[in-house]
Amino acid sequence: MGVLDRQAMKTAPAFHIYLLGRIEHEGLDQVLEDIGLEGQRLEGTTTIVSPALILLGIGESAPQGLADISFALPSDASRAALGHLLHMAMENVALKLEVRQLSEQARRQHRQFEELNRIGIALSAERDIGKLQEFILTTMRQLTNADGASLWLKTVGDDGLPKLFLASSQNTSIDNTYQAFKVPVDEKSVVGYTVTVGSSQIYDDAYNPPPGKPQGGKGFDAQYGYRTKSMLTVPMRNYNDEVVGAVQLINAKRSFGTKLTVANVPDEVVSFQPQDLEMIESIASQAAVAIDNKNLLDSIQALFDGFVQASVTAIEQRDPSTAGHSGRVEALTTGLASAVTKIDVGRYRDTYLTDDQLTELRYACLLHDFGKVGVREHILIKAKKLMPGQLEVIQSRFEFVERSVQMRYVNEKLDAMRRGEAGAAVLAEIDRRLEEDLVQLNEWIQGITAANEPTVLPEDKSSMLEFLSEQTYYDMAGTPHPMLDPQEFRFLSIQKGTLDPQERLEMESHVTHSFHFLSKIPWTPMMRGIPEIAYGHHEKLDGTGYPRGLSGDQIPIQARMMTISDIYDALTAQDRPYKRAVPAVKALDILKNEAGDGKIDPDLLDVFIAKRVYELTAPR
């Protein structure tokens, strides 16, 4: 036998030779026999087994779709030439098959690359930890045709030892397989073993594991009436190459959509493919980094939330009378923003606030009054027009004046007696004038007490205060003093509220303080609008607000929302010592008047009322 024949012997046993039509080569059977092959007639029902070569008879055409493996033998070829031709035809088919396999491998690798790229983008973009975990499991199952999957994350148990807890699970054939439980990181379970040794495990049959490795699936199968056969368990490594968990896939199937039963597992379940392992390991590592990043973001978020809450507490400690105000304004404003986002009619039907924008608004509301830390405390908590202790000083002063008046009339009686003029009528007249002066002093002190309240100052009280500021009394040394000193007169003459113009300016400066404070925080791009939103919550659409006198669209819509909420809460708050709370109905009427005067946004107020946002902070 020649060299070509021996080479053919190496190639030929893998081939199946099919004969189509009339073959007029007497030596063909012998040539096939020499290379260890046998020709089989190709009929309509014949199943072609690859690798195959179809030899075409006289006048025959290659069957549809099989031209690559069909060969027409020359009718005049010698036996030796026939052997060479058959060998070359088989080599050609083998080469074509190899090319197809390489092309398919390249396509699969390209698809895997695209899939990994898509998965990487999706993993980095997803911020919901639940959706992230579901996405990881779904993707791995689709890529491997796995029936079930579970995600295990490393944690520390109550006993201080490392544990793996089941974070998420899926199964095509069983509904709701998730149960919150933990397993030790040891070699007794497949996931524990995988994390312990730090390498992937492929089981063809979970009930019959490789030597020295733990069995898997029996406990789960007994609980759910299932049969776990093939299994792939992959450790999850973060960017520090630390194993932080594991992903376990079970029962790779011939078809992804097939639902498994105990009966059809032997026919439908196949082994996981080693060539897919690298891709699954890559996804597992990407998933570990994504989960690590999400946990880190969550911890940063929790840290910042704690900072914000601590800041709010600091504000409320300085002004206990407004405790809870920032939280209520946040609830009302974010409630209004959510309502505006959902409406499909009106001026703001196209306005949509994303979750990030709602978070930004939430922080702006919680911190909108932080600038009050820069306002002097006696102004911040001023409940009456006079400073604490000033009314007591005035009352003591009037008591002194009252004693002085009484002494003056006693002396007048003594003088009358010395002159021998202390008749009954004279003494009675002195007593009458004394009583009249005492009544007047009492009326004045009562008037001062009433004027000290943070209500609108009546005209008669204003005249009385002006009169008293011009009256004098004399101390024990005979030095004259005003009945009301200039500061007392200024405070008591405040027409409404408890602050005079200078104090009001200082109180209003809290908005600017808030802006400067918030501007010093290195906000992320998604939170960059917080200082500006807080800065505008006391602005009015007609330009009469403060501190900048903005108007119309110069005021961010979020600030306009907060303005409505801030006014409503200030009106209805039960804990303000300087004013009485008004009922919700009256507060809404006041807001309507403000909107009618062009000061607050009427369209936002309509949503606030129509969607009953104001009820979010109503007493339960």
- pLDDT tens-digit profile of 162-177? 999 998 899 999 987 7
Q: What percent of the chain has pLDDT over 90?
A: 41
Coil, strand or helix at 39: strand
The stretch 325-336 carries a mean pLDDT of: 94
Cα–Cα nearest to 464, from 452, 474, 479: 452
Would you put residue 389 in left (φ > 0), alpha (ψ -120 to 50) or beta?
left
Pairing of strands 16-20, 52-56: parallel
Instruction: Please give the CATH topology (third level) of the domain spanning 319-372+502-617.
Output: Hypothetical protein af1432 (1.10.3210)
- pLDDT tens-digit profile of 19-43? 888 877 777 888 887 788 888 888 8
User: What pLDDT, on the 0 to 100 scale, is given for residue 576?
Assistant: 63
**Is the N-terminal amide bond of 162 cis, ω within 30° of 0?**
no
Q: Determine the Cα–Cα distance for residues 454 and 436; give it in Å rounded to an integer.
A: 30
Instruction: Read off the tokens for 467.
Output: 């009169």
Asked if residue 327 lies in contact with residue 366, where contact means CB atoms within 8 angstroms, the answer is yes
Lowest-confidence region among 29-43, 341-355, 581-595: 29-43
Measure the CA angle with vertex 530, ends 529 and 536; round to 5°: 90
Q: Determine the Cα–Cα distance for residues 402 and 47; give it in Å rounded to an integer.
A: 126
Coil, strand or helix at 326: helix
Instruction: Read off the tokens for 28.
Output: 């063909």
| CATH superfamily to which 126-295 belongs | GAF domain (3.30.450.40)
User: What pLDDT, on the 0 to 100 scale, is given for residue 4?
Assistant: 38
Return the CATH number of the domain spanning residue range 3-101. Answer: 3.40.50
User: What pLDDT, on the 0 to 100 scale, is given for residue 313?
Assistant: 86
Judged against a pLDDT cut of 50, whether residue 339 lies above it is answered with yes
- Single-letter code of the amino acid located at 409: Y
Q: Determine the Cα–Cα distance for residues 227 and 220; give it in Å rounded to an integer.
A: 9
CA terminus-to-terminus distance, the chain: 101
- pLDDT tens-digit profile of 402-453? 999 999 989 988 988 888 888 888 889 888 999 999 999 999 999 999 888 8
- pLDDT tens-digit profile of 306-318? 988 888 888 888 7
Residue spans of the domains in the chain: they are 3-101, 126-295, 319-372+502-617, 390-497
